Amino acid sequence: MDLTLSPADEAFRAEARTWLAAHVPQTPLRSLETEEGFAAHRVWEAELAADRWSVVSWPEVYGGRGAGIVRWLVFEEEYYAAGAPGRVGQNGINLLAPTLFDHGTEEQRARILPSMATGEVVWAQAWSEPEAGSDLASLTSRAVRTNGGWLLSGQKTWSSRAAFADRAFGLFRSEPDTPRPHQGLTYLMFDLRAPGVTVRPIGRLDGRPAFAEVFLDEVFVPDEDVIGEPGGGWRVAMSTAGNERGLTLRSPGRFLAASDRLVALWRGRADPSDTALRDRVADAVIGARAYQLFTYAHASRFLDGATMGPESSLNKVFWSEYDIALHETALDLLGPDGESADTDWSEGYVFSLAGPIYAGTNEIQRDIIAERLLGLPKGRR
C-alpha cells in the first residue's frame, strides 16, 4: 500500500504543470453555457489538443497520450490546480468515447474521435425524454428502418449543451413490440443540424441555455452511425452510464482545487469566531481528500484488472452532494457578495445543484447501492 508516484509519473506531472502554466488563459473564459463562452471554450480545446493534452488517456492514434488511469488523475489534479477552464467537450469525451472504445467499430473510432479531441465537433447526450427520465427504458423516440439507414422521430430533452453542440448520441426504439422495455433499443449518433432536427434551448435556473430539447422528424441516420448491434442498445448504454457515474465525469482534481480556493477564501475573510463555518470549510477539505483517496483505491483495483461496477453509484452520490456543500459554504463565506451572479462560485453553485439529478438521480443510485452492493431485496419501483 503506497501513495507515491513513480519517477516517470512525476515527470509526467511536471510536464503537464509546465505546459498548463504557460497556456492557461490569464482571464477566465466566459461561462460555457453562453454562446460566446462556448466558442471560446472550443478554441481552448483546440489549444489543448495541439499539444495532445485534451484526451491524455486515449491512444496516441486518436490524439491522446496513452496515459493510464493514474496519469489521468495526475493530469486532472494539475489541470484544475492551474485554474484551467471547464471542459466543453466532456459529454463526448467522457461518455461517447468510452462507448466507442468498448462497442464501436474501428471505422467509427477513426472517423469520430480525432475531431472530438480537438473540440471541432462537440457532442451532446440525447437520452432523456419528457416521459422517460429515471425510467429511461420507457423511452418512445423511434428509429425506423429505411434504405441504408434509419429514420429518427420523437423528442429528446434536457440535453446538456445541445443548444450549441454539433452532434448527439442516444437511444431509440427500433422494435416497438418487444416483451420488455429494455429490448429493441438501438444506440445511434445523429447530426444536430440535419434536416428534420429542431433544437430549442432551455434556460436552467439562472436562465442560461445549459440544455435543450431536441425534436426529431424523420431524421436520416446512415447505418455506419449505429453503435453496437441494432436492438442491443441498452447494453451499450449501460456501459456508458457506468462511466458517467464513475471516475471520469467528476475527477477529484476539480474538487481538490476548489477546496484549496475555499480555504484561501476562508483565510481571507472569515470571522474567526464562526466555528460553524470553519467546520464546514474543514469538511470541504476533508471531502476532497476522501474523494481523491477513494479514487486512488479504485484506480489501483482497475490496475489489477477490475472493472467499474455498482460502486460507481457510491461515487456519484458522494461527489454530487459534496459539490453542493462546497459551493454553499463558499456562498455563505461571501455573505451578501455571494448573491452576485457572475462569479466562479455562483456559476459553480448553480451547476452543482443539478448534480443529484443528472447521471441517474441520487434516489436511483441509492437503490443500486442497497440492492447491488448491500444485497437488499428488490422492492416496488
Ligand X SMILES: Cc1cc2nc3c(=O)[nH]c(=O)nc-3n(C[C@H](O)[C@H](O)[C@H](O)COP(=O)(O)OP(=O)(O)OC[C@H]3O[C@@H](n4cnc5c(N)ncnc54)[C@H](O)[C@@H]3O)c2cc1C
Amino acid, res. 239: S
- Residue ranges with strand state E in 79-210: 123-126, 142-146, 149-160, 167-173, 185-191, 197-202
> In this structure, are residues 131 and 138 in contact, taking their beta carbons and an 8 Å threshold?
yes
Helix (H) or strand (E) holding 221: strand 211-222
* String marking each residue 207-226 x if it binds ligand X according to CB under 6 A: ----x---------------
Q: Which stretch binds ligand X (CB under 6 A): 17-25, 104-112, 216-224, 355-363?
A: 355-363
Give the shortest CB-301-to-other proteins separation in angstroms.
7
Residue from 197, 299, 331, 334 touching other proteins (CB under 8 A): that is: 299
Tallying the residues shown for the chain, one arrives at 381
Give the shortest CB-316-to-ligand X separation in angstroms.
12
DSSP 8-state secondary structure symbol assigned to residue 225: G
Using CA atoms, how far apart are residues 278 and 49, in angstroms rounded to an integer? 40
65 or 161: whose CB is closer to other proteins? 65
Question: CB under 5 to 8 A by kind: which of other proteins, ligand X, none does 6 bind?
Answer: other proteins
Closest CA to 368 of 307, 313, 306, 309: 313
Give the dihedral sign, CA 273/276/281/286. positive
* String marking each residue 92-131 x if it binds ligand X according to CB under 6 A: ---------------------------------xxxx---
Which of the residues 139 through 158 are near ligand X (CB under 6 A)? 158
> In this structure, are residues 115 and 102 in contact, taking their beta carbons and an 8 Å threshold?
no
Provide the binding-site residues for other proteins, judged by CB under 8 A: 1-6, 9, 70, 81, 256, 260, 263-264, 266-267, 275, 278-279, 281-283, 285-294, 296-297, 299-301, 303-304, 314, 317-318, 363, 365-367, 369-371, 373-379
Provide the binding-site residues for ligand X, judged by CB under 6 A: 125-128, 133-134, 158-160, 211, 354, 357-358, 361, 363-364, 381
